[in-house]
Structure 1
Amino acid sequence: MVVSGLVELLHSPLLAVLLSLLVVVVVSGWTKPSLHGRDGRRLPPTPRGSLPVLGHLTLLGALPHRALRGLAAVHGPVMLLRLGCLPTVVASSAAAAEEALKTRDMAFGSRPRLRMAERLFYGIRDVTFAPTGEHWRQGRRICVNHLLNPRRVHSLRRVREQEVAAMLGRVRVGAAVNLSDLFIIYTNAIISRATFGDRDYGAVGDGHGGGYLRKVFGQLEELLGTIPIREVVPWLWWVDIVTGLERKTRRTFQEMDQLLERVIADHRQRRRGGRRPGDDGEKDPRDFVDVLLDVSETDAEAGMRLDTVGIKALIMDMIVAATDTSFTLLEWTMAELINHPDKMRKLQDEIRGAAGEAGHISEDHLTELNYLKAVIKET
């Protein structure tokens, strides 16, 4: 009886009507985008081809930046895309960017809440991913006034020059070298020494020294560039577990957190009963952890009191902001110079002329290297 009932249902006019309605709903949702939001206000132009669940994700392809350029040429400098369940407004002209980032900065200043950032940055206790507000303003004040002021940058010159010499020593061995790897080693060494000090904390975990730090930094950068499936399609949350993304995120956070806990505990231990770094006047050997510990103990300004979690979140900002951006810039600069040998020769002549009889370049020569500045800015 059950089988015969199913056969009758399959041949019934009611099923045909229901299937037809379903096709109409899907096709209309795919080909005829809504022009107004739920509150009645007009939405920006949006491309056709929005699929149920996926939205416009299929239109981005393997090269999203080129796909966005093509879509903007058709739909204008401001358009609406639906990335899964996330409505996303794309501004692709200078005027539109100025409107969002300058004229209406307070309305657009906050980053969207990203699950990966919340997992890795202590529930957004940092500055980079924190919403605009009092916490963000106080955190930014600490970074600008205490960590990135001219005196602090100058105090790290010794670290930069030592790591530059070490990198050049690796290049001079005579054999072929992988510049990408050298740039990663160089930038990781500088940011880790600036943040943690000269003591080697790389042995935390597997005992491979600086290689361990590079591994953890690399995993952190990779995860920040990863969008979990559950963020785009929430009901597919289980895919992140099956693919191992959830496990990798948890492991990377735990490794980084254990490293930061050890660094902070070590700095606090050295401060107890002894002279604090920086007590000798002009010469200031403090690293970022020392500075943040000083701020947590002495900064009386209202709005943000640094605890251990806050210190760890700001350290994470320094690591992420400095590492990937620096070695990517160096890598692209060398790639462009290799592809334009005449420009490389011009830059080499300028540097050799500035070096003179000394045979080497220091930060004191930077004011003379105008073509180098132009190359960096264009890159």
Structure 2
Amino acid sequence: MMMLQFGSMPVLIASSAEAASQIMKTQDVGFADKPMSSNPSKLFFGPKDVAFTPYGEYWRNARSICMLQLLNNKRVQSFSKIREEETSLLLKKIKDSIDNSQVVDLAELFVSMTNDVLCRVALGRKYCDGEEGKKFKTLLLEFVELLGVFNIGDFMPWLPWVNRFNGLNVKVEKVAAEFSAFLEGVIEEHRETKIDDEEEESADFVDILLQVQK
């Protein structure tokens, strides 16, 4: 293990599996807290997600919901039909392309299939077709890209004003607003379509979280 200094932020590097195991498993509580990064904080509403929220009661409750409600073995198995359907569609696309002597871009197909599975499991339906699909893909790519963008203000607190000139602040705020509006639309769709007890096993993540909220 070694310590590096990135501006004003100390960064600990674990360069072996044994050291990583000590941090992630044996001494996990001691290393559980995380620095508050500007971009994730704006994109994740505070932040309020499991990956970026600081260690504490809120994080423990969020993790409990993830493990007991969203990612338990029964729930994961209930989505097997979705995975099978999307795999069959993938194979059909490959077969059709070969039959028509077209080039097959496997990387693009795998990414598309993964997105379709995740959207159906988490949001209840696919967002890949037509103008809506193009907007969603563009928004998702921008969202993921901004999570990994270097924000100089996080490492040099006296230089956050730079982001006003390089356009980063404007872009983050724009994507955060668009993503928030998209999620609001998804939630409203689910509130208008109530599921019966018989359909509870096929409930997606938004359905489950709305039930937890109630």
TM-score (norm 2): 0.89
SS in structure 1 of the partner of residue 33 of structure 2: coil
Residue 108 of structure 2: aligned partner: 181
* RCO higher in structure (CA 8 A, sep ≥6): 2
Cα distance in 2, alignment partners of residues 160 and 256 from structure 1: 25
Alignment of 1:1-379 (within 5 A): 78-172=1-95, 173-174=97-98, 175-198=102-125, 208-271=131-194, 276-277=195-196, 279-280=197-198, 284-297=201-214
Shift of 1:292: 0.8
Cα distance in 2, alignment partners of residues 201 and 185 from structure 1: 10
Q: Which runs of 5+ in 2 are unaligned?
A: none
Cα distance in 1, alignment partners of residues 27 and 66 from structure 2: 24
Cα distance in 2, alignment partners of residues 201 and 101 from structure 1: 35
The answer to whether the Cα contact below 8 Å between 1:86 and 1:232 also exists between their aligned partners in 2 is: yes
Cα distance in 1, alignment partners of residues 81 and 136 from structure 2: 21
Cα distance in 1, alignment partners of residues 19 and 86 from structure 2: 41
Q: Deviations over 1:21-56 (max 9, x none)?
A: xxxxxxxxxxxxxxxxxxxxxxxxxxxxxxxxxxxx
The answer to whether the Cα contact below 8 Å between 1:185 and 1:214 also exists between their aligned partners in 2 is: no
Residue 74 of structure 1: aligned partner: none
The answer to whether the Cα contact below 8 Å between 1:201 and 1:209 also exists between their aligned partners in 2 is: yes
The answer to whether the Cα contact below 8 Å between 1:155 and 1:284 also exists between their aligned partners in 2 is: yes
Cα distance in 2, alignment partners of residues 195 and 93 from structure 1: 34
Count of residues in correspondence between the two structures: 210
Shift of 1:201: 5.5
* Distance change in 2, residues 1:168/1:129 (3 Å): same
Shift of 1:252: 1.1
Cα distance in 2, alignment partners of residues 83 and 113 from structure 1: 15
Query: Structure 1 counterpart of 2:205, which letter?
Result: F
Cα distance in 1, alignment partners of residues 29 and 124 from structure 2: 37
The answer to whether the Cα contact below 8 Å between 2:40 and 2:47 also exists between their aligned partners in 1 is: yes
* Distance change in 2, residues 1:161/1:103 (3 Å): closer
The answer to whether the Cα contact below 8 Å between 1:118 and 1:124 also exists between their aligned partners in 2 is: yes
The answer to whether the Cα contact below 8 Å between 2:116 and 2:128 also exists between their aligned partners in 1 is: no
For the pair shown, the structure with the greater C-alpha radius of gyration is: 1
